Structure 1
């Protein structure tokens, strides 16, 4: 009897090991620390999929440990990477239309961003992703602001002559139009660039400002408030062929996890802005506010620079811009 029990226990253990060996593992890459909201969204998906017990595991490679920040979209589209949390405008070189997901003044607030994600505008972008064998699992926009090592930045006049990091082509064009010198880099590189004097100013998401401890390097911070010039689409993406290759239970588990994570992403994103202002203030950094007049000046400059160049450079640029502007 005892021998039979031992044999039964051994058989169960072998079956468990066999099940683990047969489980599909997906690799998810991102550039952020494990304290960042984008990692938290990825971890939620991984945890919920694991809890669904459908022989599907998601292994997260954070802090740019698998791919460099701007080099994730190509391997994703080629099936060399399964999933990523990515600022979509990083892939603007592959699909110029993606630059519209980081266009100054295009998004008014977080609820407006959510409406954009559920609009014909986003459907048009998703059609372009499909061409690259990429699909969206989780929609999400993050707001952001400006930080300066020497002074506050609220108006276009404030960046004239400054060495400035902007996230995305459209912001670079607008800031260059305001007289700033542009230094292109991932948000994960801002801290060192400011520390070494390469940068005087930067704009990025509220979350990145905090997770990369930029408050240790700046004199003044202009967070997203009632008016936010900076909104960036940063979805969880997946290789479409990889998704299509999963069984129905695995696909359903991923969809359910993604739906829950998307709701969390939106609510958490709304809290990031005020939370970031408190972190900077607690660190002794001056907090500035952008007025409605400042915002109007930036948007007028964007229309002359970023919007105009986007329409001129992208074949269907005007149609895409019109779709975005049609979302109230």
Structure 2
């Protein structure tokens, strides 16, 4: 008997065995999808730690339960899988399965992403979360989907300003300082106010402030604590009284990966992601309040943004940051128009 004949008989025997094997046993042979979730924030547990890490762990546990182990997850906090800025290209190519990442980090390659950190455009959680089902949110979802990204959980975070010197309350307070903004448009706002802009992801802020290469940084209330910026700050401006810094920081899945899932698995992923938005909103608000006590305990001076200061920042943002964003391409123009319509409806 030839080698080819024996191989053909072996293949037929294998296929016959599979055909006669009960379905429950066939499914037992199948290995579950083990998906990787990356983020830059400190790791913890479901019960304790940075709420963004907790959300990823809650998501993984609930989806695994709903899919009866058909989907499993490995979580890589603290940029242990890849750097913050590498996550979006990896998601688009399918090299990374999921990430919880500030949308504006994709702004260099996809300017539309900077709508997620547009100074003074979103000024409340109610406004930000209303985007999801509003025309602006549907348009953003469409654009991201075309770019290979699926938004699983809508997460918004308000932010404040940690400073090595005096509190940063009014635009004139940043004049002459080296400041981190977090997006191209935030940087433009700071430049217009007289600051020197320093670009870096949030997990690099503390080292820069300690070294003196950064005087102040805008970032989320959660990151103000998780990255222990209180250790290098003498002042804090909180988001308790309002904020011109609201960041869209979604949990996302690669569209390539999402499309490989069964319909039932896709439904579980999206359902759990939506369910966790309530947790994210509650946790972000709690951190907006908690951050003040954390900084006060170190002797830092704590102030809240007021309505007058917010109007000043918005006026500067409209003049250049918003205008320049709208001029970048047709998608940006439409997103800005829809976002401004949502403001008018509030």
Matched ranges for 1:65-80 at <5 A: 65-80=80-95
Q: For residue 210 of structure 2, what is the aligned residue in structure 1?
A: 195
Q: For residue 52 of structure 2, what is the aligned residue in structure 1?
A: 38
Number of residue pairs matched?
313
Uncovered stretches (5+) of structure 2, i.e. residues with no partner: 1-23, 44-48
Of residues 229-238 and 29-38 in structure 1, the stretch that sits farther from structure 2 once superposed is: 29-38
Aligned-partner SS, 1:22: coil
Kindly indicate whether the alpha-carbon contact (under 8 Å) linking 1:19 and 1:55 is maintained by their aligned counterparts in 2: no
Aligned-partner SS, 1:288: strand
Of residues 250-259 and 132-141 in structure 1, the stretch that sits farther from structure 2 once superposed is: 250-259
Q: For residues 29 and 64 of structure 2, what CA distance do their matches in structure 1 show?
A: 12
Q: For residue 129 of structure 2, what is the aligned residue in structure 1?
A: 114
Matched ranges for 1:256-267 at <5 A: 256-267=271-282
The answer as to 2:36 corresponding to 1:27 is yes
Q: For residue 8 of structure 2, what is the aligned residue in structure 1?
A: none
Correspondent of 2:266 among 233, 237, 251 = 251
The answer as to 2:195 corresponding to 1:180 is yes
Uncovered stretches (5+) of structure 1, i.e. residues with no partner: 1-14
Runs ≥4 in structure 1, deviation > 4 angstroms? 18-21
Q: For residues 55 and 309 of structure 1, what CA distance do their matches in structure 2 show?
A: 46
| Deviation (angstroms), 1:41 | 1.1
Q: For residue 307 of structure 1, what is the aligned residue in structure 2?
A: 322
Residues 17-71 of structure 1, C-alpha deviations (whole Å, 9 max, x = no match): x948711111111100122121111111001122221421011111001111111
Correspondent of 1:282 among 286, 297, 312 = 297
Q: For residues 303 and 146 of structure 1, what CA distance do their matches in structure 2 show?
A: 20
Structure-2 change in CA distance of 1:161 and 1:62 (3 Å):
same
| Deviation (angstroms), 1:245 | 1.3
Kindly indicate whether the alpha-carbon contact (under 8 Å) linking 1:216 and 1:283 is maintained by their aligned counterparts in 2: yes
State TM-score, norm by structure 2.
0.87
Q: For residues 277 and 110 of structure 2, what CA distance do their matches in structure 1 show?
A: 24
Q: For residue 3 of structure 1, what is the aligned residue in structure 2?
A: none
Kindly indicate whether the alpha-carbon contact (under 8 Å) linking 2:91 and 2:253 is maintained by their aligned counterparts in 1: yes
Q: For residues 232 and 118 of structure 1, what CA distance do their matches in structure 2 show?
A: 18
Q: For residues 188 and 267 of structure 1, what CA distance do their matches in structure 2 show?
A: 23
Of residues 79-88 and 111-120 in structure 1, the stretch that sits farther from structure 2 once superposed is: 111-120
